[in-house]
Every structure is written in structure tokens, then in C-alpha cells.
């Protein structure tokens, strides 16, 4: 018997095989859960429908995939359509995975102090407010005792040069998790965040993940980086009944990097290099 047998839910934000959301969804479906997927709509002039084709290739042949639906989270009609699709194809849902973030490249790559006003608004709307919008629209579809999970990063807690405006968005997202946990707690609905260390993903590459991988390996108590499988395990745990007493929590999956108050073993490497 699988951990998600009889469970149904919505997964947002899968872009490709390297997406953390896909690692979580794969684990859920391997444990018997049924998933509906939303994806970024293709542009009107994109005859190849790259986004749709990408997720179709990932999900084809999997009997636990119940629908694929485009959704622009800046559009309330799109969000409502996805919830209608959940209601029609899944009924009440037991989990909702929010994996959505975006910032204009010029704002993400530039110094935080130079973030444009319009870019700030857009990044906040898509990366933070979208969790509120989805949770609100899903209230009638979420079953009592359901679980909501979003994906965050340590750059929302501490300044991580290069993460810039997205770090501010993640700080807002972390706070939203706590307030939604209170709002939905009366129905037993839990809201948590998974704060994963660097992984090779589309969003990670945009934030300089290659440099971060070496830093985490050198500083984390475990002395290594995390894996996609570990992200899938941790995320599915937070969406399952196994975490029924946990809400308003940010779970760090980073080999213990967040616990360090000094460079740790990295300092030893630096000293050894200087001594040579």
C-alpha cells in the first residue's frame, strides 16, 4: 500500500525533469497518488507549444496523471479554471504543491538596489502573492486535513548575493506560509515550505547554482549537496499524512548548511591552501 493511495492533488510549476516539483510529483505518483498538473501557458505565437509538449513528454503513459492545464497566476480566470478542472477531474483534493517563481532577468542579475519598480511588482506577484491566490481559490476544492506546500530558499532568510530580488520574494513567501497556516488551520489544512539547497534546475541556473554547489559542499555539516531524490522524499513527506502535525514550518533540506554560523570545514581548506 502506497503512502498516497486514494490521495489526489494539484501540482504547479513543473518545467522539466530537473524541476523540484517534478521530483516531488514523481514520488507522490509512485506511492499511488493522482495528480493534475498546471503549466506555464505557451505564447500565442508559439506554434510548437513548447511548454505543453515538455510536460506531455514527462507525464505521458502515467495513469496517475489526470489532467494538464495551462495557468498564468497573474490571471484570476486562469486560476479559477484550474480549480474547476480539479473539481471535475479529481473532486476534493488532498494536496496542493506551489512551485512558481519569476523575476525579470535584468532585475534578477542586477544589484538589488537597482530593481525596477515594475519588476519588483511582477516578481512579488508571481513568486509570493500567487500562493495566496491559489490557496484562496482552492478553498472549496481542498479537503479538510489537506496539505499545501511551497518551495522557498535560504536567500529569503539571509542575504545571498546573486539571489537579489528573488530573496526578497522568498522572504515574503516564508511569511505568507505562516499566515496561511493560521487561516486554514481551523479546517486542519496545513501549509508548509520546503527550503532546498542548490540543485541543477532552470531557476537554480538563473541564480548562479554552480557557484553555490561548491560552497554548500564545503560548508554543510554533511559535506555534500542534496539530490533530487531527497527533494522528492522531503516534499512528498510534507504533503502526506505522515506530517499531519506540522504546519507553518520551513523545512531546510540542505545538508545542514543553514545551521552553520561559520565557514566550518571550508575554513580548514582555506588555511591549508594558504599554507602551501
- Catalytic residues, by residue number, are 153, 163
Contact predicate 8/93, CB 8 Å:
yes
Contact predicate 60/268, CB 8 Å:
no
Contact predicate 65/28, CB 8 Å:
no
Cell of 39: 503549466
Ramachandran assignment for 131, one of left (phi > 0), alpha (psi -120 to 50 degrees), beta (any other): alpha
The residues pairing with 97 across neighbouring beta strands, listed in sequence order, are 11, 149
Handedness of CA 68, 73, 78, 80 (dihedral sign): positive
Contact predicate 240/174, CB 8 Å:
no
Taking CA atoms, 170 is separated from 54, 154, 157, 201, 226, in Å, by: 27, 8, 8, 17, 20
Q: What phi, psi does 269 have (nearest 5°)?
A: -60, -45
Amino acid at each position: 500500500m502506497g503512502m498516497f493511495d486514494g490521495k489526489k492533488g494539484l501540482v504547479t510549476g513543473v518545467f522539466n525533469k530537473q524541476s523540484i516539483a517534478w521530483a516531488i510529483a514523481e514520488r507522490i505518483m509512485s506511492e499511488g497518488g493522482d495528480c493534475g498538473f498546471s503549466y506555464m501557458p505557451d505564447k500565442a505565437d508559439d506554434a510548437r507549444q513548447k511548454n505543453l509538449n515538455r510536460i506531455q513528454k514527462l507525464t505521458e503513459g502515467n495513469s496517475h496523471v489526470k489532467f494538464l492545464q495551462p495557468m498564468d497566476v497573474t490571471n484570476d480566470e486562469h486560476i479559477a479554471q484550474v480549480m474547476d478542472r480539479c473539481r471535475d477531474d479529481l473532486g476534493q483534493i488532498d494536496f496542493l504543491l506551489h512551485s512558481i517563481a519569476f523575476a525579470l532577468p535584468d532585475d534578477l542579475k542586477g544589484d538589488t538596489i537597482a530593481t525596477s519598480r515594475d519588476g519588483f511588482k511582477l516578481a512579488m506577484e508571481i513568486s509570493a502573492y500567487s500562493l495566496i491566490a491559489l490557496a484562496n481559490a482552492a478553498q472549496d476544492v481542498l479537503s479538510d486535513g489537506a496539505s499545501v506546500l511551497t518551495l522557498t530558499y535560504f536567500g529569503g532568510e539571509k542575504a545571498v548575493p546573486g539571489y537579489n530580488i528573488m530573496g526578497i520574494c522568498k522572504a515574503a513567501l516564508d511569511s505568507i506560509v505562516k499566515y496561511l497556516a493560521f487561516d486554514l488551520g481551523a479546517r486542519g489544512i496545513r501549509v508548509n515550505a520546503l527550503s532546498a539547497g542548490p540543485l541543477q534546475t532552470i531557476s537554480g541556473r538563473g541564480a548562479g547554482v554552480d557557484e553555490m554547489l561548491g560552497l554548500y559542499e564545503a560548508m554543510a555539516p554533511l559535506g555534500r549537496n542534496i539530490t533530487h531524490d531527497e527533494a522528492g522524499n522531503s516534499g512528498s513527506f510534507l504533503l502526506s499524512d505522515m506530517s499531519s502535525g506540522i504546519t507553518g514550518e520551513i523545512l531546510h533540506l540542505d545538508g545542514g548548511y543553514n545551521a552553520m554560523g561559520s565557514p566550518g570545514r571550508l575554513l580548514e581548506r582555506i588555511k591549508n591552501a594558504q599554507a602551501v
